[in-house]
Every structure is written in C-alpha cells, then in structure tokens.
Structure 1
Amino acid sequence: MSVNKKETPLANAAFWAARRGNLALLQLLLNSGRVDADCRDSYGTTALMVASYSGHYDCVKELIMQGADINYQRETGSTALFFASQQGHHDVVKLLFEFGASTEIQTKDGGTALTVASQYGHFNVVDVLLKNGANVHDELNDGATPLFLAAQGGHVTVIRQLLSAGAKVNYSREDGTAPLWMAAQLGHCEVVKVLLLRGADRDAENQDGSTALFKAALKGHNDVIEEMLRFCPSLGLLKNGFSALHAAVLSGNAKTVLLLLGANADPMLPNKNNELPADLTKNERILNVLHPRKMNRDS
C-alpha cells in the first residue's frame, strides 16, 4: 500500500480520531484500505504523532500495529517520541520504545526527546528515556543540555536524575551561560542549592562577565543569594566591571544590599566607572544601609 501524502477527507478523519482518542473510528478508517497508517498533513505530521501528543495509548498502538513508521520525522524534525515526551505521556513513551523508537533523532534546533522532557520537567518520561539509552549530553544547537533546560525550568527532580546519570554540572551554552547562572537569575533557589552541592562553579561567568550571584542580586532573589553565600562566592569586581553589591543597589532591594553587606561586601569598592554602590541610587533606605553613620549625622 502506498503512503498517502495528501490531506484527504478520510485522512483528516483519521487525524481527528487520533487526536480525540476515538479508537473505533480510527480502526474503521485504517481497515477500510483507503487510509494509510502513515497518512500525514502538509507539514509531515502523522496520525501517530497526533495520537502520541494527545496521549491516546490505544490509538498509538493501533497505528503501530497497522504499520505506522515510529521514527518518521515531520518538517521540524520532531517524531512521535518527541511529542509524547514533550507532553509527559510516559506510558506512550514506553510503548514507542517497545516497537523501536530512537532516542537519537534530533529536531532542526537540535532537540531530542530527552531535551524536551527535561525542559518541561516530566521526570517519569526522563526516567524511561534514560533507561532506554537517551544521551544525557544531548545539546540544542545553542549548546543547551537537558540539565541546562531543567535548571531553566526549575525542575529539581529532573536535575537530580540527570546529574545521577552523569550530566556535567558546569557545562554551559555557547554564550557561556551555565545551569547555575540561569537558575539563579530566574530565582530557582532549590535548583541553585542542588547544583552547588553537586559542584557547580559558584563564580562561573557568563559572556557578559556576570556571575550567578550578580544576576540574583540584580533581580533581588534573596533566597537564592542566601543559598549562594553559604558557598562563599566572589564579592569583588567581576569582568563586567561591577560587583554584586552594585547589582544589589541597582535592584532597589534593601534586603539584598543588607545580605551582601552581612557577607562583607565592600561598600567602598568602585566599579569600572569609579562609582561606589551608593552613587547608583537615590533611595534613602538603601543609602542608610550602605552608610548608616553618615546618614544619621546628615539628618
């Protein structure tokens, strides 16, 4: 039977059945001999991909038994396994593996089933993928690994899984952004804690010369800062010409400033423009925190 590459009314009906989980209609269409199990739309999306995305186990199995190509790639490079992993359907993922799904196929941006499952925090899927040979060192075209994507999303359980499977805690994207830096700037405190305990470089710098502590200070993520200070990060000038205290002042968060001063950040350390932290604000509360005796005398 030749593959029906065109969108026909019957093929569209098969897509509808796969999307809605209507097994009876799908079987009727496939058994009619007028709809192929590999029918697909103009983008290369197959009925198997649709059923996998929607998590309809029985429809997925029927399509496979009718001869659907498990590893067929749509226009973007995605497969049925990719879609099932993206949506967290671990039972469908297991089924696809039983019939030969590959973990190595990449999308046009370098994505794999493991990268997308990690990105969305589907720990059950990640577990199945790793047990079936998924590569923990997969990378998107920009160098982002499953660990990086999990850190970006704040998915602690997935991070622990990936680290246990051998993920490199300090591996950064092409722009120099490490998982710790990303987690810190997004305020994912528990992720920061796990990464630091597993050996993340607390002073790793991004391409712009900023560190995880600098970004957390700039964003005012005080819980992240408290966690990072336990690991004695650098409080001096960074390659970007500023200190974390300068960033804290710019954030306008007095508590952030207090936390850094409590860790012995130097309020008299000028930045690359010869500006003290106090020169970067007119906020009296922050100024009083930076120079309490001077402010009290002036008042």
Structure 2
Amino acid sequence: MDLVVRQPRLPKPGETMFGSGYSTVPGGKGLNQAVAAARQGGAVDFMGAVGNDANGTELRGVLALHGIGARGLADVPEPTGTAHISVLDSGENSIVVVSGANATVTALDAEQEATIAQARFLVMQCELPVSALVAGIRIARANRVFTVLTPAPVLPLPEGFVGSVDLVVPNQIEATELTGEADPVRAAELLSAHRTWAIVTLGAGGCVLAFDGTVVGLAPARPVKAVDTTAAGDTFVGALVARLAAFGLPLELSAAAISEERMIDAVRWATVASSISVTRAGATSSMPSLAEVAAILA
C-alpha cells in the first residue's frame, strides 16, 4: 500500500516541515506492473504475499477489479508491505519500501511454479527476496517463459543473475548502481551482454534500448506536464510486456525470439502509456487504458 505525502521539497536532516496532502493508494511495484499490463489488455496472474489486514484485503480487491488472477498470492501473519512516498510539487518522488509480507516469499510453492510454467512472460521486481526470483527464473527457463526484471530496489544479486533474464528494465540510478557506469548508454551495453535486452529509462529523457552489448537506439519521451511520476516506470514495464504479448509470438520465448522491430514498437507503446500516467496523481489510479494509448498512436 502506497502512503503518499505531497510536499514542496525533501526535508533536510532533522527538519520538520509541512506537507500539502496525504493519501493511501494501492501500489507496490508488482501490483503496479500487473495493473498496467491488465489495463493494456494483458491476461495477468499475480504472485506474492499480503497480510491478514485491511491493506491486504484492499489490494486483493484491486486485483479482482482488474481481472487479475491471485491464486499465487498468499495470506501471511506479517503486515502487508507498504511504500512511503514523498511526491514533490515538481512531480518528482522518492520512496522507502517496508517489505512486510513480501519478505516471507523466500521460495515458490507448487501453485506458483505451475502459474509460471503456464505463462508466456514472468515479470519480476526486487521487492521479493532474491531466492524467490532465482526460483522463478529456474521455472521460467525450464518452460521457455520470457523473463523480465525491474531491479528495484537495487539489491546485491548473484553472479550472472542479470544476464540470466531476457529483459532488464532499470532506471538511470538503478543502472548506475548495477554497473558502476553513470553513462546510461554504456550501462545499457553492459546490462545487455549475454544476449539480454536492456532498457534504461531516463524519465523525461526517454530511454536507451540495447541488446547483446550493442545499443539499438535512444527513444525520446513524449513531452507532457508531469503532475506525479509515481509508478511511471511500472506503467512503462506493464504496458511494454502487454504489447509484446499481443504480438502472437512463438510459444517458446527467449530474448532472441523478440525482433528489434517488435521491441521498438513495444517501447513506443510503453512510452506513451507512461507519459499519460505522469499527468495524473497516484500509482494504479494513474494508469491509462488500452484505448487511451491506442488513440494517441492511431
């Protein structure tokens, strides 16, 4: 659950300041990406954990509202995870995540493994323990499921972990943390080595797209007046995967199965979806429908 405070700037250490608004909004990177994909026409199943509390009940309701399957979502004694978000008047944000129930997902049960095996795409974030992500990749690889990783929050990852996924989508800060490279082009080249797709998102600067160590191109952002950038990156990922899924790709997917033309098309689609989301407040509440994106790209 996102706990959002609107404020003019970030406080200095030890400073108390006034904010101009407070709200609670269903969120979490996984939920955000699931809702974004569902709103773009994707058929989505969700895995993770929530607490036996009011926040958990509300989040389950969000999944049901969007027709997202929840058979892989566990109820646990720990409280539902929260994200504490400061949204500045400029539209920028900073986020502190308290994992709660998510931290209990250290392995996958049979139901979750079956859900992955039957999927076309597995979309992961680092809000679950790394051991669960490793298990998810193992099941996906065995069943030729295309794997997507949003490496946020950035955590220490096993050697070769990023190279084992088909697509990695960090923002510029995350890309720098993972590679040590401040230049997003060079970071994208490093992240895409070993026949991996990499998309480094740059906010208003667009994104860098690379495959197998070579930059494919730099996609510009769609200029808009930003109100709230919360979940802009999650909207991008959800819309991107939904667009890729709509292409009718081969049953057995890998990074090499996605052509440059199709990935560029999906990036264009995701860029528009993300640009719409930042013109609205909130996370899941800001995400556009398939019709809204299609109308702009028509």
- TM-score interval, normalised by the smaller of the two chains: under 0.3
Under a length normalisation based on structure 2, what TM-score does the superposition of the two structures give? 0.27
Compare CA radii of gyration and give the structure with the larger one.
1
Under a length normalisation based on structure 1, what TM-score does the superposition of the two structures give? 0.27
